[in-house]
Structure formats: C-alpha cells, structure tokens
Amino acid sequence: MSASTPLPRTEDSADTPGGVPLDRREEWIRLREHRDRLGATHLRGLFADDPGRAERYTLDVGSLHVDYSKNLVTDETLRLLNRLASVTGVARLRDAMLRGDHINLTEDRAVLHTALRAPRGTVVRTDGHDVVPEVHRVLEKMAGFAERVRSRTWTGHTGKTVTRVVNIGIGGSDLGPAMAYEALRPYTDRGLEFRFVSNVDGSDLNEALIDADPERTLFVVASKTFTTVETITNATAARNWLLAGLEAGPEAISRHFVAVSTNADEVEAFGIDTANMFEFWDWVGGRYSYDSAIGLSLMVALGPERFREMLAGFHLMDTHFATAPAERNLPFLLGLLGVWYGGHFDAQTHAVLPYSHHMARFPAYLQQLDMESNGKSTQRDGRPVAWRTGPVVWGTPGTNGQHAYFQLLHQGTRFVPADLIGFAEPSPDLMEGLSAQHDLLTANMLAQGQALAFGRTEAEVAAEGVRPDLVPHRTFPGNRPTTTILAERLDPSTLGQLVALYEHKVFVQGAVWNINSFDQWGVQLGKVLAKRLEPALTEGADVSSLDPSTAALVRRYRALRGR
Ligand code: F6P
C-alpha cells in the first residue's frame, strides 16, 4: 500500500444540519479506497513487512497495556481514521460534553457522567451550576450509610443487623452494580450477601428471597425514574414480603428500604423515607450511572475507600480521554477501529472476551452501554444514517467460550473483531494452589489472539503429516483481528479505567456516526405495547384489535393457563 496524498482540511461539523453525510466525506471515501487496496492483505504479511508494529501499536494508559497490533490496520489506516475523527468533530463534541453542554439533543440534557468521578474542588458547570459539590455530598451520604451497614450498626425493624442486601433495579440500575460486584468480589465484605434482582419474572425475586430472613434483609431500590415497571413491581412485592414476614406495618419500611433515584416524589409515594434516598441527576444516563448513587449496593459491598479508588480509575481514563492527542488516545483508537470494521469490513458484531471469571458480567454490561447508546439509525439532525452504526456486542469469559463458539470465530464465515481482556495477577484471595492456574488462563488468551491472527496455513498443516483430505478441515485462515488489553490486576481502579475506556469508545463512535448516543427511544415501543397487552391476557378480554399472530398467541396462552 502506498501512502496517499494529504487530505484537504475540511473541518465542517457532521452535526450541522445539512452537513456532509459521513459516507460522502472525502475521508470516508479515502478509507474505502484504502480498504480496497488492502484487499486480502493478511496479518501475517503485515507483521512480516513491519515487525516493529508489535511495539509501535501499543498504548499504555494507567494500569492498562493495550496491544492493537493484531488489527487490520497500517499507519495509513490510522492516519485516515484520525482524519475522519477530526473532520467529524469528535474532539469538539467531547469538549462540549465535558463542559456540560446539552449534547443529548433529543432530551435536551447535559451528559456529565465524568463529573461523577471529578475530584473534589474541580468545577464542572451545567446550566451555570457547579455539580461537583453535589456529587461529593451524595458520595459522603452513601459512605455514611455504607459504613453503618458494614459495621453492622444499621439494624432492621426488630433490631437485628443486616446480612443480605437486595438491589432491585433494571438496565443501568442493575447491570453496572451487578457487574462490578462480581468483578470486585475479592474486595467485598464476604460476611454480607448481595443479590441483584432485575427481571419482572417473579422467579428472580423469588430466588433472592426464598432463603432470606426479613429481619435481616435490606432492599436498595435503584431507579433513575422510579417509574420503571419491572422495578416498581418487584419493589412492591418485596415490600409485601417484608411486611408479611415481620408482621409489621409501614413503619418497618424505613429500616429495610432505601432508594436511589432522581425522583423524590415517586420515592415518597412508594413509602420510602426521602431521608433514605440517595439522589443523582438527569445529566447522568442510566447506562452511565453505576459510579453515581446507583452504585450504593456496590459501595456497601466494597466500602467507601475502594469505591473511591474505582472512581479515581474512571477519572484517570477521563483525563486521558480529555487531553491525550487523538493518535495516542485510547478511546479514540478503540472507537475508530470499530468504525473501520463496521464501515469497511461489514463487521456485524464485536466480541468482548475477558479472561477472568470475575468479569463474567462485563460483556452484558457493555451490551447496554454500547447497544443502547449506538443502536441508532437516525442522525443527530434527524436524517437517516446510510452507514453501519453500533455492532452487536457479546461475549463470555475465557476459557469457557473456547469450548463453545470459538470454532466459528476461527473457521466460520463471519468477521468478528474481538477484544481479549486479561490480568497479569490472579485474584488476590485465591485458595492455596489455585494461583498456579493463572498462567494457563493467560496462555489461553494469548494463544487465541495468535491463532485468530495468524491461523495455520495448508502447507503448515500438511507438513505435520495430516491426511491430505483433512488438510482443508484443519486449516485456520487467521486474519481475524483482536485487541489485547492486559492490565496489572483486576482491582477497583482498573475496573474504573476499563469502564471509562468503553464509555468513551462508545462516545467516539457515536460522534463519528453522527448519532445521539445518549437517548434510548428504541426501548419505548415494547414497553407501551406490553402495558396494553397485559389486560388481554385475562379471561374473556377482547383480542379483536390485535394483529392475527399476536391474537393467536394470546388465545393459546390463555388456553394453557385455563382462562
Ligand atoms: O431500558 C431503558 C432504560 O430506560 C435504561 O436506559 C435504564 O437504564 C433502565 O431503563 C432503567 O431505568 P430506571 O433507572 O429509570 O429504572
């Protein structure tokens, strides 16, 4: 590939109504031509031509070491991608976000999750108002509460200490705390039990309560709006269970229920004392909220100090994102790689493969973060997009996935870029002897990156004496890109760094694609229809207005339920 001539500087903003659509931008077209020139260029060839890429294509930020050399990129690709970021105004939009502008246009809101981890004394204004003092006031209140539960001085209605904490929330009010609790389990108070209930399927709450003692159970009802039907339904059932179990009246609620919300009126209407409410603000999106009061259960588990270490990790990545030049900026880099693969390799999905059992919920957490943010097909100014936006994000921890779907990753017909995430140190609290397994875990992660990138040629397979008719079956094409994130250890700070990295990666992609990453109108229709359909499931309800398929399913359900 030859380097092409420098691009003209076109700094017009993609989010200006009537601005140049992404796919007609000079830089996008250059990328397409570059992609055509790359053709079937193989990672084997890229490494053979440029062995230095292994060292050059790495970035170290905080405790994260990122090796992106096994991606289908060259210096020219990266130059073009950075030009694309520049002309689509990514840095400008980032700065607007960080200074509190209402960049969430459809909801007319600021997007200030970065203020949640701003150190005390930093000034972050939105609508003329510095939000950092409020953030720290709530953090202090959370810390006071967490310490009381952890020190066993918070007692229930009958004077007994709490042993089980049940977080009731869904989406951003569940996935973050649940993921982080699992990720940081070695740092939690193992004398307390934590359950995360989200599903409106009664089985979820049932499993959390079936062996619980009402006298020793504390509920954290987490809901930004406090109107989410799943959460309010589960919280109501939990309240009934508690009062029945205690044989007490509503006066018992204040010792067993606390709320996390932006909506004091609804919290009060539910019967929770607003003195036991931990607030956050409309400038915190649900999927960007677990470092706000939504992390209350997590703070009880970890303790305030560890929680603050996590916030410091977030802040470290925020500072990097805000200040590092685009070409050495990790969120820019990961975001642009996704833009490259989605736009020019037609990648439909992106796999996140943590080689850490504690990170089991991380891909599920990223699903909401990424897919609710960038699963959009309307540009910021209302025009439809004509390019790929957010991918399907998925994954499970290694090595389990290797014995499930890795076959497809290696030899299937799909193109699936992947992130491999590993930690140099094993969990700090492993029983004797188990740390020895860590090298095997890490070797597997590295081996997968190798195999996906370089594969195994027919000649190599044949040279091993494999029967000729089996050679094609045992050949690995390789050329499947991965990014390896190798951190020192999975601790609160590192988790904060990782989450902030992905938050900002999603931001970069949304900015390039010219979509609003901060609304989620696409979840509304299903909610509205479910509300309308529920009465149709009762005996004798009229289903004539439903579409024929749904009406038939309703009739079948009713028949099965004897209605
Ligand atoms: O699924 C839609 C959604 O609005 C998410 O964005 C949000 O995280 C979740 O529901 C829960 O909302 P709330 O915290 O208001 O209960």
Supply the residue whose CA is at minimum distance from atom 6 of ligand 1: 286
For residue 523 and ligand 1, the question of a CB distance below 6 A is answered with: yes
Active site residue 527: yes
The three-class DSSP label of residue 192 is coil
Q: What is the CA radius of gyration of the chain?
A: 25
Instruction: Give counts: helices (H), strands (E), the chain.
Output: 23, 13
pLDDT digits (tens, 9 = 90+) for 374-418: 999 999 999 999 999 999 999 999 999 999 999 999 999 999 999
Band of residue 433 on the pLDDT scale cut at 50, 70, 90:
very high
pLDDT for res 17: 46
Query: Is residue 33 annotated as a catalytic residue, yes or no?
Result: no
Strands 58-61 and 64-67 turn out to be: antiparallel
pLDDT, tens digit, 9 for 90 and up, residues 321-373? 999 999 999 999 999 999 999 999 999 999 999 999 999 999 999 999 999 99
Length reported for the chain? 563
22 pLDDT exceeds 50? Answer: yes
Our answer on whether the CB atom of 172 is closer than 6 Å to any ligand 1 atom is: yes
Model pLDDT, residue 19: 81
Catalytic residue among 473, 527, 531, 534: 527
Separation in Å, CA 487 to CA 64, 67, 420: 5, 11, 11
Provide the pLDDT for residue 309.
98
The pLDDT score that the predictor gives to residue 5 is 40
CA distance 513 to 389: 6
% of the chain at pLDDT higher than 70: 97
Each residue's pLDDT tens digit, 46-94? 999 999 999 999 999 999 999 999 999 999 999 999 999 999 999 999 9
Q: What is the ipTM of this complex?
A: 0.98
Averaged pLDDT, 121-143:
97
Does position 4 have pLDDT exceeding 60, yes or no? Answer: no
- Find the 107 Cα to ligand 1 centroid distance in Å: 14
- Specify whether 376 is catalytic: no
Which residues have C-beta within 8 Å of that of residue 440, sequence separation ≥ 6?
none
* CB of residue 170 inside a 6 A radius of ligand 1: yes
Helix (H) or strand (E) holding 220, with range, is strand 217-222
Q: What is the pLDDT of residue 183?
A: 98
Q: For residue range 213-243, what is the model confidence (pLDDT) as tens digits?
A: 999 999 999 999 999 999 999 999 999 999 9
Residue 390, phi-psi category: left (phi > 0), alpha (psi -120 to 50), beta (remainder): beta
Residue 9 pLDDT greater than 80, yes or no: no
Is residue 218 a contact partner of residue 148, using CB atoms and an 8 Å limit? no
Q: How confident is the model at residue 439 (pLDDT cuts 50, 70, 90)?
A: very high
CB-based contact 422:498 (threshold 8 Å): no
Q: Which long-range contacts (CB under 8 A, 24 or more apart) does 522-529 make?
A: 522/372, 522/375, 522/376, 523/372, 527/229
> Residue 202 has what pLDDT?
98
Closest by alpha carbon to 78, among 365, 311, 335? 335
Mean pLDDT value across residues 477-505: 98
Amino acid at position 449, single letter:
G
Atom of ligand 1 nearest to the CA of 520: 6
pLDDT at 2: 36
Q: What is the DSSP letter of 350?
A: E
Ranges of H-type helices in 61-101: 75-87, 90-98
pLDDT at 329: 98
Q: Tell me the C-alpha distance between 384 and 131, whole Å.
A: 35
Output the average pLDDT for the chain: 95
